Amino acid sequence: MSNVQTTMQNYQAPESLLQGKTILVTGAGDGIGRVAAITYAAHGATVILTGRTVEKLEKVYDEIEQAGGPQPAIYPIDFNGAIDDDYQQLANIIDSNFGQLDGVLHNAAQLGQMGPIESSHTGTWMQLMQVNVNAPYLLTRHLMPLLRAADNASIIFTSSSVGRQGRAYWGAYAASKFAIEGLMQTLADELENVSNIRSNSLNPGATNTAMRRLAYPSERPTNNPSPEQLMPCYLYLMGNDSLAVNGQALDAQKK
């Protein structure tokens, strides 16, 4: 295991780790994204909650407010139908409210249709690529000026074990996560030494969420860690203790 990985998995974040930072989380209404948003706010961040189901985002908003965290912002967006202009509009709103952005957690994704490539449905494949690959690409591109405006900024791309080693029947989902690794590596290489932005990928590993339960319906959900148990990694990569970490494909769980 790499040193970074050990440090990250055993990380104990100071309470004020993200004080003064503004962080955007995609898929913030459920699963890992929901817990990451709440955790970032608990460590001082102003969190921009994006996702497609407004009621879920509102619940997260209320939870953060009730816990006394900095007032979050909600920006509903369905990555399936969003176009260039929608991402630019989001960037404009962040610009006028905050003037900069200190971090992005690309977390939203869909599992899509599992099964052999040969019998996969073209429309389903395209839709999954739209949500899992094109959306993080478009969002990153439109947010770059705001990330550059920060003292330093962290982009976390969410990967998967099947984004590092292909596996039968994981279809478009596996291909989309390989693409995410490629996007992360390319960006990290471009930005190395020429900017204050770092970019890494994080594979949460099997985690007790709706997506995992959908992929493994016969598994006992509580056999897997909860999103809360992964948060040391999400905090480490978002906070200033990971300033030197760039271009790495990391795992939130020990293998």
Ligand X SMILES: NC(=O)c1ccc[n+]([C@@H]2O[C@H](COP(=O)([O-])OP(=O)(O)OC[C@H]3O[C@@H](n4cnc5c(N)ncnc54)[C@H](OP(=O)(O)O)[C@@H]3O)[C@@H](O)[C@H]2O)c1
Could you tell me which of 71, 78, 75 has the C-alpha nearest to residue 90?
75
Measured from the Cβ of residue 127, the count of other Cβ atoms closer than 10 Å reads 18
Q: How far is the CB of 183 from ligand X (least distance, A)?
A: 13
Nearer to ligand X, 17 or 32 (CB): 32
> 174 — phi, psi (to 5°)?
-65, -45
Nearer to ligand X, 74 or 149 (CB): 74
Residues near ligand X, by CB under 6 A: 27, 29-33, 51-53, 56, 78-80, 107-110, 131, 158, 160, 203-204, 206-207, 209-212
Q: Which residue is nearest to ligand X (CB)?
A: 31
- Between β-strands 197-203 and 249-251, what pairing exists: parallel, antiparallel or unpaired? parallel
> 219 — phi, psi (to 5°)?
-85, 150
Q: Do the beta carbons of residue 218 and residue 171 sit within 8 Å?
A: no
Q: Enumerate residues 6+ apart whose C-beta is below 8 A from 44.
A: 15, 16, 17, 18, 19, 20, 21, 69, 70
Q: How far is the CB of 16 from ligand X (least distance, A)?
A: 26
Q: Do the beta carbons of residue 200 and residue 248 sit within 8 Å?
A: yes
Q: How far is the CB of 238 from ligand X (least distance, A)?
A: 15
Nearer to ligand X, 59 or 148 (CB): 59
87 is catalytic: no
Nearer to ligand X, 125 or 150 (CB): 125
Q: Is residue 154 classed as helix, strand or coil in its secondary structure?
A: strand
Q: How far is the CB of 233 from ligand X (least distance, A)?
A: 12
Of the candidates 40, 61, 87, 173, the residue annotated as catalytic is 173
Active-site positions?
A: 173
